[in-house]
């Protein structure tokens, strides 16, 4: 019976992973197709196409829409909530990652076609700042783009990052703790981050987002509602080498308190944890 349950669970897990990957691929294809459609329309109508891009209609597909900026960072068209910024320099609003990508686009010959980049933007469906992937292409002094929102980090990604941190600690304890605290080594991935507690002192020795927690007593940590978090996790880890714990915590990407599911594992006298968020 246990074997049957285990096989059923694995099947459901695999199906969910395939579904997530398929959905993301479909989003990517839809976004790219919308951009190709917009590029063809722009080739025919030039800047007159901006009016069509900026109104409800054929250039809006669910939460995917066309936006256009010029080489100076001025927003010329948008089918999304940023339409309120048309005519204004939105360079700073785009964020450093996308600004750099667009700067690089100006150096790339138009013949190289559609480029890609990642950035963060407010999702007008839920009001949250989320990870977004964008397809874009330069046409003269215009950059046409269409993006889509990426799914949140998965449980599998959280476990993988935790295991990566554990393996790194075994190889280079000092270097790994330094890397986590200095945002290096790939230990910060969107809303996933690593934190490490010394089980001998019960104090934080590394944290991927809140350095102010370093050297503080993990046992005294509570959630925003005052519910203990550190003490029950330490109690759990006193009885086992790894485990899971659910609590409420602020998501560093959305800035909101959300449900967090932490995967915790011992590594020598350290406790290594990574958790994923859900609304």
Count of other CB atoms within 10 angstroms of residue 24 = 15
Second-level CATH architecture of 155-278:
2-Layer Sandwich (3.30)
The pLDDT, as a whole number, for residue 1 is: 44
Q: What is the mean pLDDT of residues 6-10?
A: 38
Q: Which long-range contacts (CB under 8 A, 24 or more apart) does 175-181 make?
A: 176/206, 177/205, 177/206, 180/206, 180/207, 180/208, 181/206, 181/207, 181/208, 181/211, 181/214
Q: What is the mean pLDDT of residues 64-87?
A: 89
The pLDDT, as a whole number, for residue 119 is: 74
Report the largest interatomic distance among the alpha carbons of the chain, rounded to a whole angstrom: 69
User: Is 155-278 in the same CATH topology as 2-149?
Assistant: yes
pLDDT in tens, 141-198: 999 999 888 767 889 989 999 999 999 999 999 999 999 998 777 898 878 999 999 9
pLDDT in tens, 103-157: 776 677 777 889 888 776 766 666 656 678 889 999 999 999 998 887 678 899 8
The pLDDT, as a whole number, for residue 11 is: 40
Domains of the chain by residue range: 2-149, 155-278
The pLDDT, as a whole number, for residue 94 is: 66
The pLDDT of residue 232 is above 90: yes
Q: How far apart are CA 112 and CA 57, in angstroms?
A: 29
**pTM for this model (two decimals):** 0.56
pLDDT in tens, 87-102: 988 876 666 766 777 6
192 touches 153 (CB < 8 A)? yes
Second-level CATH architecture of 2-149:
2-Layer Sandwich (3.30)
């Amino acid at each position: 019976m246990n074997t049957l349950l285990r096989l059923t669970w694995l099947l459901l897990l695999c199906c969910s992973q395939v579904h997530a990957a398929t959905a993301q691929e479909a989003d990517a294809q839809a976004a790219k197709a919308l951009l190709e459609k917009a590029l063809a329309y722009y080739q025919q109508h030039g800047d007159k196409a901006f009016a069509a891009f900026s109104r409800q209609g054929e250039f809006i597909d669910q939460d995917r829409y066309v936006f256009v900026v010029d080489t100076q960072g001025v927003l010329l068209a948008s089918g999304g909530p940023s339409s309120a910024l048309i005519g204004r320099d939105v360079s700073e609003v785009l964020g450093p990652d996308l600004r750099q990508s667009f700067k690089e686009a100006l150096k790339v010959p138009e013949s190289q076609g559609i480029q890609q980049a990642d950035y963060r933007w407010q999702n007008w469906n839920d009001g949250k700042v989320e990870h977004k992937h964008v397809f874009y292409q330069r046409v003269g002094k215009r950059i046409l783009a269409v993006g889509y929102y990426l799914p949140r980090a998965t449980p599998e990604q959280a476990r993988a990052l935790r295991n990566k941190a554990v393996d790194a600690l075994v190889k280079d304890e000092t270097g790994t703790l330094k890397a986590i605290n200095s945002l290096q080594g790939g230990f910060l991935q969107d809303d996933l981050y690593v934190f490490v507690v010394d089980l001998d002192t019960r104090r934080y020795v590394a944290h991927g987002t809140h350095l102010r927690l370093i050297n503080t007593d993990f046992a005294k940590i509570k959630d925003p509602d005052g519910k203990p978090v550190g003490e029950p996790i330490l109690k759990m880890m006193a009885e086992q080498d790894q485990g899971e714990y659910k609590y409420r915590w602020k998501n560093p990407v959305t800035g909101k308190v959300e449900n967090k599911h932490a995967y915790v594992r011992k590594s020598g006298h350290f406790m290594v944890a990574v958790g994923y968020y859900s609304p």
